Structure 1
Amino acid sequence: MTTNFTRPEIEDFLFNEAALLDDWKLEEWLALFTDDARYLVPATDLPKDAPPEGNLFYIADDYFRIGERVKRLMKKTAFSEQPRSKTRHLVSNVRVFSQSADHCVANAAFITSRAKGGNVDLYVGSSEYTIVRREGALRIRSKRCTLDMEALRPHGRISIIL
């Protein structure tokens, strides 16, 4: 039986993901992922399809490490996010590229702003998702955020979730 994933359904799902991140509902955000999920943010100088094995990635997390990232960010001892940054995740140009009975590959453009300590940082790029339907709900099997930036300035790091 073929399951159809529609662009409006995927778009609503990605808008919800963005809202969870902006509202700092990180445990709920983590629940969007499958237990075999990957969250990847390659370095800005890598080819778009470079694998995390053998290449420098800002973030190359499996599900366990995504969970540890969430735990760390939720602690009051998370220096980089205390006080928490104010973020706004803007998602646009959502497209469903391919789908099969059990998953679809979708892409979206993003701009994420981070305000903290009187500074505003912008992260611009595109995210490629592999989304599956499990027990009637959409879940993220992989999320790869490719930044359209020459470098991360001024800090050279990412302390928020894109």
Structure 2
Amino acid sequence: MEDSPAPSKPPLSIADPRHIEAVDFLMFECELLDDYNEREWLSTMVSPDIVYQVPVRETVERARGKGFTASTFHLNETLGSLNSRVARGETKYAWAEDPPSRVRHFVSNIRTREHEDGDHLLRVKSNVLIYRTRQEQTTPQMLSGERDDILRREDGRWRLLKRVVYLDLTVIGTHNLSLFF
């Protein structure tokens, strides 16, 4: 996990039906998360086998790679921990996000590739910018990075099996990480 692996083949054409399905998946995911429908996102778009990680980034010399560690994470989640985060947000005790932040996900440069383990999997890389404002703050918080996702077809629909978010920041200047990437 030190660095995301180099692509072995070019991405699928934007006209490929699998790429179109992946883009539709990501756009609907943004809508659910931006509209605070986290429970629906979790129950309809996330696989029970989810691995959801945000590794820590260090500033290193170019020869040492991109600087992501394989063992230290800002977030290292499973379905159980994601469910706990969503459930906490549904209570009156989620003080860090009550009232909730206003969040917008901007996803671009979507590249879809066949996965080496079969047709039921897709590898989808995308750039993400999360724009967040809180209460009456006049300065927004912005988080940018690259998402490396694996989607798996389960019961005829795509679900998020794995997401690794490689943030562009070495120091995260937000008051919490209660949002979803």
Pair 1:5–1:66, CA change in 2 (3 A): farther
- Kindly indicate whether residue 89 of structure 2 is the aligned counterpart of residue 76 of structure 1: no
Specify the alignment match of 2:122 in structure 1. 104
TM-score normalised to the size of structure 2? 0.79
TM-score normalised to the size of structure 1? 0.88
Pair 1:44–1:74, CA change in 2 (3 A): farther
Specify the alignment match of 2:157 in structure 1. 137
Q: Tell me if structure 2 keeps the 8 A contact 1:48–1:146.
A: no
Specify the alignment match of 2:171 in structure 1. 151
Q: CA deviation at 1:93?
A: 0.6
Pair 1:150–1:107, CA change in 2 (3 A): same
- Kindly indicate whether residue 52 of structure 2 is the aligned counterpart of residue 39 of structure 1: yes
Specify the alignment match of 2:144 in structure 1. 124
Pair 1:27–1:111, CA change in 2 (3 A): same
Structure 1 residue runs without a partner (length 5+)? none
Q: Does 1 or 2 have the higher relative contact order (CA < 8 Å, sep 6+)?
A: 1
| Counterpart amino acid of residue 19 in structure 1 | E
Q: Give the aligned CA root-mean-square deviation in angstroms.
A: 1.8
Instruction: State the aligned residue count.
Output: 155
Larger-gyration structure (1/2) = 2
Instruction: Write out per-residue CA displacement over residues 67-91 of structure 1, whole angstroms, 9 at most, x where no aligned residue.
Output: 1111112222111100000000001
Matches of 2:17 and 2:152 in 1, distance apart? 9
- Kindly indicate whether residue 179 of structure 2 is the aligned counterpart of residue 160 of structure 1: yes
